[in-house]
Structure 1
Amino acid sequence: MSRHEPAPVEVRPLEGDAYVVEVRGHQLHVDQPREEGGTDTAPTPVELLVGALAACVAFHAGRFLARHGVGAEGLAVRAMFTMAAEGSTRVDAVHVRVVVPPDLPPERVPALRAVLGACTVKNTLTHAVELDLEIDGFPSLAPG
């Protein structure tokens, strides 16, 4: 997306399974569905992950359309995901569908597809990312 300095993200509990996510002065809430013990007041973290992907794709599509003088009216990005087999706690697959405005010339679609490939969230999800999970006050236990 942009090259601005990454801001820290902080998450704090609200009530029950609901949390507030704060970044750069903005707040997002996450929760769990009722059938999983939450109060269903907000999307789940996994839904936000998939939503971040869809939003990133929409951002790149919108910028592409603007550069080519095509209005964003009619642009929509829809994402669906499936969870991995029972016992695994990860997303197995994500399907993203981009609905383009009707006035986008068909010859621009290959270029749009290339631009959408530059989505930072997509590239992060499709390549291994280094992840360090640390418990404050306790040394990190690196494998090996």
Structure 2
Amino acid sequence: MPWPGRPHPPVVAPQGRATSAPNIRRRRDDHPPARGPTPGEVLVVSLASCVAYYAGRFFERHHLDREQLRVLADFTMADDRPARIASVRLRVLVPHELSGARLEALRAVVDHCTVHNTLRQPPEIQIEFG
């Protein structure tokens, strides 16, 4: 299901102990046409992949089929400087009806994926030239 501003949001699915290669579809109005995902899209897809991985592990632990489990991702860029992603929206498409308690447990699990934790507490970044 498309989200405003993006005809096809990236979709990520858990695969074994990893996640599938995300499908990143570019907007048709990109000029010039992009040759691949932007760095911002890579960051958002990394977050979606992490959520898919953790959700997939949750499904495994609870003996649920995760075949149709998917994570859709969308983001908006900030209007001011510095250039950055202002917001990210993820939608976990759960293939099973989950009780309220189990859905909250899933939320707690995916809310603590490694990439999400890294965005909450940014690492020290050093750029060196050689």
Global fold match (TM > 0.5) = yes
Percent of residue pairs identical:
45
Q: C-alpha separation between the residues in 2 aligned to 1:73 and 1:107? A: 22
1:64 equivalent in alignment to 2:58:
yes
- Any conservation in 2 of the 1:70–1:104 contact (CA below 8 Å)? no
* Structure whose residues are more often strand by fraction: 1
Equivalent position SS for 2:98: coil
Runs of 4+ off more than 3 Å: 103-106
Q: C-alpha separation between the residues in 2 aligned to 1:114 and 1:80? A: 21
Equivalent position SS for 1:66: helix
- Any conservation in 2 of the 1:77–1:98 contact (CA below 8 Å)? yes
Between Structure 1 and Structure 2, how many residues are aligned?
Answer: 103
Unaligned runs of 5+ in 1: 1-31, 137-144
Equivalent of 1:83 in 70, 77, 83: 77
Unaligned runs of 5+ in 2: 1-25
Amino acid of the residue matched to residue 46 of structure 1?
G
**Alpha-carbon distance, 1:75 to partner:** 1.1
Q: C-alpha separation between the residues in 2 aligned to 1:135 and 1:48? A: 23
- Root mean square deviation, CA, Å: 2.0
Q: C-alpha separation between the residues in 1 aligned to 2:101 and 2:80? A: 43
Q: C-alpha separation between the residues in 2 aligned to 1:97 and 1:116? A: 11
1:112 equivalent in alignment to 2:90:
no
**Alpha-carbon distance, 1:103 to partner:** 4.1
Q: How does the TM-score come out when normalised to structure 1?
A: 0.64
Residue of structure 2 in register with 1:73 after alignment: 67
Residue of structure 2 in register with 1:45 after alignment: 39
- Any conservation in 2 of the 1:70–1:103 contact (CA below 8 Å)? no
Q: 1:104 to 1:73 in 2, by over 3 A?
A: farther
